[in-house]
DNA sequence: TGGCCTCGAGTTCA
DNA sequence: CTCGAGGCCA
C-alpha cells in the first residue's frame, strides 16, 4: 500500500511539474504521450484506491494557473478538455455507451482533426471582437486579446446578423511551413528555436508585444461555442452550429465531416491518418462529437470532460525513453559510431531499441549520458533519432551533481584494442586496426557478399559473424575454400557454444540443405564482372558507381592495379583523394595476395578493351530512376539505359535530363516537377528502350 | 575560392 | 534517407 501511495505522489509531482512547464513556461518537459500515460496511470490508481486519492490531484484539473503576465479572464462557460482514446476498442466503448444511453442505434458524429495548437475563446459583443482568452485552467484563462487581434483569419467583426453575445472556442495553431520558417530565421539569428509548432503558437500568443505576434504565421479554426445570448432557431446540431459560424465569417477546419456510428468515425480516423503527413499543420488525433444537442445534453459530463465527445489519438511520433547504455559500432572503414541502447519504446507503431548518435559531435551537442531520459522521434523517414535529453530527469548523485559524466568516445577500439583516431577536420573517428580488427573484417565480408557486390545469397550477417569468430574465414578469398563439411562443423560448434540444440539431434538426419545452397551460391558468385569485384573489394571511396566507371575506363584489373595517380585522375569523377586511396589499396601486399587468392580460387570476370568516351544513342543523358516499375527492377532498367550510353544517377538536380517515375514515386518526382525536368512513365521508358532495339521483357 | 552536384557510408526494423 | 566530403566548374 505504501508503494502505491508513494507512486501516486510521484506521479502527481511529475504531472504538476509538466503542467507548469507546459502551460506557464511554454517549455514542455515531456512529450504529450508521456504526459497522457502518467495521467492515466494516476487516474487508474485513484480509481482502484479512492481512499488514497488527493483531493487536489492534477487529475481533477484541466491545466494550471496562468502565468500572471496577462489579465485573468473568467470563462462564463468553462473550457473543458476531452477524454482520450488510444485504441479502436476504447472508441468502440465510447460509441457503445452513447448508443445505449441515447437509444440511438446509429448516432451521427461531427468528426474533425485534433489540431496541435492552443485552445482559445473569442468573445464577440454585437458582432465585434471584444476579448480573446487562453483556456488556462479551464475556468480562468489569460486575456490575450491584443495578440489574437493580429491573427489575420480571426474576424474583428462578424458578418451578417450576429447575436448580442457570442463566444467562440477554437484552436490557434502555427502551420508547418510557418514553423519551419520561424526556426530557420531563429537559427540564423542565434535565437532559441521552437521545439514544435504548438510551442510556436503558445509562445507567440504570450508575447507581451503584439507586434511580434503579428509577424508569426498563426491561424485559427473554430470548433465550439461558449456563451451565446441567442442561438438562431433550427440550430440543433454541432454541424449546424459550425455551418452557422462559417456564415458569420469564422474559419472552420475544412476536414470536419459528419459521420455515422462506429464505422463512420473509424473510417474518418483512418482516412485522416493516411493524409496526416500531407496536411499543412500538425494534428495529434481526431475528435468525435455527438452531433445532436439533445443527445449531448442526455449524455452530460463527468468531472473534467463531456461524455458526448472524445479525442482519438494517433500513435505518437515522439516518445520518451531511457538510455541504458551507449555502445560503439565499428564500420567497414573503421568508422566509430556511438549508438544509444534504449529501453524499448513504441514510436509511431514500431518498437525502438537503438538509435544512432552519429558521431562524437552529435553526442556532445545533445549531451546524452547513460541513464538519461531522452525524446526519441521517427521523423519523415523510418530511422529513429534522439531529439533531445530531458534535462530535469537526469539522475543525480546525493550531492546533486549528475550521476554520469559527459560521454567521451573511447581512445581504443572496443573490439580490437587499436587506437581510435580522428583526422584533422574530419567528423568521424576511426579504428586504426584495419583488417586486424575483427569488426572491420566482418563488415568487409558482409560488404563483399552483399547484393550489389558479389551477391552471395544466404550469406548473411549472422553467418559471417560466426565464420569470422570461429576462425573459418580470414579474408574474402577464404570463402571460396569453404566446403560442405566446414559449414556443418561450424554449425555444430555454434550450437555447442550457444547451448542450442543441434538440429541434427531433432530431425535425426543431416540438415545439409542450407549448407548445400550456400556452397552453390558461393560457387555461382565465382563468375562475376569487373565492376562488381572492384566494388566488393571495399576500397575506400569506391562505391558501386565509381567501380563501374573504373571498370569501363580500364577494362582489366591489372591495368587498374598498375595505374599511377596521373592515369587514375584521367578517369571522370576521380580526383587526387580517391586516386591516392586506390593506389594505397593496391600497394598493400595483403590486398594483392587476396586478389591473387580469389583468382586462384576460380573467381573470374570478363575483361576487355578500355572504353573511354561514352557513346550510344543516349550518350550524355543523365537519368534518375524512382518508384517501382512493373516490368523490371530499377537495376535492370538502369543497366539497359546504361547500355544505350545514359548515365544513371541517384539524385535529381538541374543537370538531370530525365526522371523515370514508376509506381508510388515520391520526393524525387516532386523535385523533378519543381525543377521542370522531363519525366517519363514506365510506358515511355519501354518505348524508348524498344525504339533502340532493347528487349524490355524478361 | 565557393558553391553546386554526386557519391559513399552508415543506419533501423519487420 | 541523410550527412559528409570529394570532384568539378565558374
Residue A169's pLDDT band, with cuts at 50, 70 and 90, is very high
pLDDT on residue A183: 72
pLDDT on residue A226: 92
- Chain C nucleotides close to protein (CB under 7 A) are 1-8
DSSP A79: -
pLDDT on residue A66: 47
For strand B, list residues 531-550 of chain A whose Cβ lies within 7 Å of it: 540-547
Burial of A480 (0-12, 13-18, 19+ CB in 10 A): middle
d(CA A273, CA A279): 10
* Per-residue flag: A551 CB under 7 A of strand B: no
Q: What is the mean pLDDT of chain A?
A: 84
* Per-residue flag: A584 CB under 7 A of strand B: no
Residue A378: partners with Cβ closer than 8 Å, 6 or more residues away: A317, A347, A348, A350, A352, A384, A385
CA A260 vs CA A43, A56, A105, A106, A361: distances in Å:
31, 39, 10, 6, 53
pLDDT tens-digit readout, A469-502: 888 998 999 999 999 888 888 888 888 887 766 5
pLDDT on residue A590: 92
Q: Is the pLDDT of residue A288 over 50?
A: yes
pLDDT tens-digit readout, A609-634: 887 665 677 777 788 887 777 777 77
Mean pLDDT within A638-662: 79
Q: Where is average pLDDT lowest: A72-81, A101-110, A261-270, A380-389?
A: A380-389
> Measured in angstroms, what separates residue A548's CA from nucleotide C9's C1'?
23
Catalytic residues of A: 114
pLDDT on residue A64: 42
pLDDT on residue A501: 60
pLDDT tens-digit readout, A358-388: 888 888 888 899 999 998 887 555 678 888 8
Q: Are strands A678-680 and A658-661 parallel, antiparallel or unpaired?
A: parallel
Alpha carbon A316 to its chain's center: 11
* Nucleotide with smallest C1' distance to residue A339 CA: B11
What end-to-end distance do the CA atoms of chain A give, in Å? 71
Most confident range (mean pLDDT) of A73-77, A204-208, A638-642 is: A73-77
Alpha carbon A175 to its chain's center: 19
> Measured in angstroms, what separates residue A637's CA from nucleotide B14's C1'?
28
pLDDT on residue A479: 93
Q: Are strands A309-313 and A83-85 parallel, antiparallel or unpaired?
A: parallel
Find the Cα–Cα–Cα–Cα dihedral A19, A22, A26, A29, rounded to 10°. Answer: 110
Residue A65's pLDDT band, with cuts at 50, 70 and 90, is very low
* Nucleotide with smallest C1' distance to residue A355 CA: B12
* Nucleotide with smallest C1' distance to residue A581 CA: C6
| φ, ψ of residue A133 in degrees (nearest 5) | -140, 155
pLDDT on residue A698: 40
Q: Where is average pLDDT lowest: A64-78, A127-141, A307-321, A453-467?
A: A64-78
A267 contacts A109 by C-beta, under 8 angstroms: no
Residue A508's pLDDT band, with cuts at 50, 70 and 90, is very low
**Cell triple for residue A255?**
476536414
pLDDT on residue A535: 93
Q: Is the dihedral of CA A13, A15, A16, A18 positive or negative?
A: positive
> Within 13 A of A324's CA, how many CA atoms are on the CB side?
9
A131 contacts A146 by C-beta, under 8 angstroms: no
Mean pLDDT within A223-235: 91
Q: Is the pLDDT of residue A511 over 70?
A: no
Amino acid at each position: 500500500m505504501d508503494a502505491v501511495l508513494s507512486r501516486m505522489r510521484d506521479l502527481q509531482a511529475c504531472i504538476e511539474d509538466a503542467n507548469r512547464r507546459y502551460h506557464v513556461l511554454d517549455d514542455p518537459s515531456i512529450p504529450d504521450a508521456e504526459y497522457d500515460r502518467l495521467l492515466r496511470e494516476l487516474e487508474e490508481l485513484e480509481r482502484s484506491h479512492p481512499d488514497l486519492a488527493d483531493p487536489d490531484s492534477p487529475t481533477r484539473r484541466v491545466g494550471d494557473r496562468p502565468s500572471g503576465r496577462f489579465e485573468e479572464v473568467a470563462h462564463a462557460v468553462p473550457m473543458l478538455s476531452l477524454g482520450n482514446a488510444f485504441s479502436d476498442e476504447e472508441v468502440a466503448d465510447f460509441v457503445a455507451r452513447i448508443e445505449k444511453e441515447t437509444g440511438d442505434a446509429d448516432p451521427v458524429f461531427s468528426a474533425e482533426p485534433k489540431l496541435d495548437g492552443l485552445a482559445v475563446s473569442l468573445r464577440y459583443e454585437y458582432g465585434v471582437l471584444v476579448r480573446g482568452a487562453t483556456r488556462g485552467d479551464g475556468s480562468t484563462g489569460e486575456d490575450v486579446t491584443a495578440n489574437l487581434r493580429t491573427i489575420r483569419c480571426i474576424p474583428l467583426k462578424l458578418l451578417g446578423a450576429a447575436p448580442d453575445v457570442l463566444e467562440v472556442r477554437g484552436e490557434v495553431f502555427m502551420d508547418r511551413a510557418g514553423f519551419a520558417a520561424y526556426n530557420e530565421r531563429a537559427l540564423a539569428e542565434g535565437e532559441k528555436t521552437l521545439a514544435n509548432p504548438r510551442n510556436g503558437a503558445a509562445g507567440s500568443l504570450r508575447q507581451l508585444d503584439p507586434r511580434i505576434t503579428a509577424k508569426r504565421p498563426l491561424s485559427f479554426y473554430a470548433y465550439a461555442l461558449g456563451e451565446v445570448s441567442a442561438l438562431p432557431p433550427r440550430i440543433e446540431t454541432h454541424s449546424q452550429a459550425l455551418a452557422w459560424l462559417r456564415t458569420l465569417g469564422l474559419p472552420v477546419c475544412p476536414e470536419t465531416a459528419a459521420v455515422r456510428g462506429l464505422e463512420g468515425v473509424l473510417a474518418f480516423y483512418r482516412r485522416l491518418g493516411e493524409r496526416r503527413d500531407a496536411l499543412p499543420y500538425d494534428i495529434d488525433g481526431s475528435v468525435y462529437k455527438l452531433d445532436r444537442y439533445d443527445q449531448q445534453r442526455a449524455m452530460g459530463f463527468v468531472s473534467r470532460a463531456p461524455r458526448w465527445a472524445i479525442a482519438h489519438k494517433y500513435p505518437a511520433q515522439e516518445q520518451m525513453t531511457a538510455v541504458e547504455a551507449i555502445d560503439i559500432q565499428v564500420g567497414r572503414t573503421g568508422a566509430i559510431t556511438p549508438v544509444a541502447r534504449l529501453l524499448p519504446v513504441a514510436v509511431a507503431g514500431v518498437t525502438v531499441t537503438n538509435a544512432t548518435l552519429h558521431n562524437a559531435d552529435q553526442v556532445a551537442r545533445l549531451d546524452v549520458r547513460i541513464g538519461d531520459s531522452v525524446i526519441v522521434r521517427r521523423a519523415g523517414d523510418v530511422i529513429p533519432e534522439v531529439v533531445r535529453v530531458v534535462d530535469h530527469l537526469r539522475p543525480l548523485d546525493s550531492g546533486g551533481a549528475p550521476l554520469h559524466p559527459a560521454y567521451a568516445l573511447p581512445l581504443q577500439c572496443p573490439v580490437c584494442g587499436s587506437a581510435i583516431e580522428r583526422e584533422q577536420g574530419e567528423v568521424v573517428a576511426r579504428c586504426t586496426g584495419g583488417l586486424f580488427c575483427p569488426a572491420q573484417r566482418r563488415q568487409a565480408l558482409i560488404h563483399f557478399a552483399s547484393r550489389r557486390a558479389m551477391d552471395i545469397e544466404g550469406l548473411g550477417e549472422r553467418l559471417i559473424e560466426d565464420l569470422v569468430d570461429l576462425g573459418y574465414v580470414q579474408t574474402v578469398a577464404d570463402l571460396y575454400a569453404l566446403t560442405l563439411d566446414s559449414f556443418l562443423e561450424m554449425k555444430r560448434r555454434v550450437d555447442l557454444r550457444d547451448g542450442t540444440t543441434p538440429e541434427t539431434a531433432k530431425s535425426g538426419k543431416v540438415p545439409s540443405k542450407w549448407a548445400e545452397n550456400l556452397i552453390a551460391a558461393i560457387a555461382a558468385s565465382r563468375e562475376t564482372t569487373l565492376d562488381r569485384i572492384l566494388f566488393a573489394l571495399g576500397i575506400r571511396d569506391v562505391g558501386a558507381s565509381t567501380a563501374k566507371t573504373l571498370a569501363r575506363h580500364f577494362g582489366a584489373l591489372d591495368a587498374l592495379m598498375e595505374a599511377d595517380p596521373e592515369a587514375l585522375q584521367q578517369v571522370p569523377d576521380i580526383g587526387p583523394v580517391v586516386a591516392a586511396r586506390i593506389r594505397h589499396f593496391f600497394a598493400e601486399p595483403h590486398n594483392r595476395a587476396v586478389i591473387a587468392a580469389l583468382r586462384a580460387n576460380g573467381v573470374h570476370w570478363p575483361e576487355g578493351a578500355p572504353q573511354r568516351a561514352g557513346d550510344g544513342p543516349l550518350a550524355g543523358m543523365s537519368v534518375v530512376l524512382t518508384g517501382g516499375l512493373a516490368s523490371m527492377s530499377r537495376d535492370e532498367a538502369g543497366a539497359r539505359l546504361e547500355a544505350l550510353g545514359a548515365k544513371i544517377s541517384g539524385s535529381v538536380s538541374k543537370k538531370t535530363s530525365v526522371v523515370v517515375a514508376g509506381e508510388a514515386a515520391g520526393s524525387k518526382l516532386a523535385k523533378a516537377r519543381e525543377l521542370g525536368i522531363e519525366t517519363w512513365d514506365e510506358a515511355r521508358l519501354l518505348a524508348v528502350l524498344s525504339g533502340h532495339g532493347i528487349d524490355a521483357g524478361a
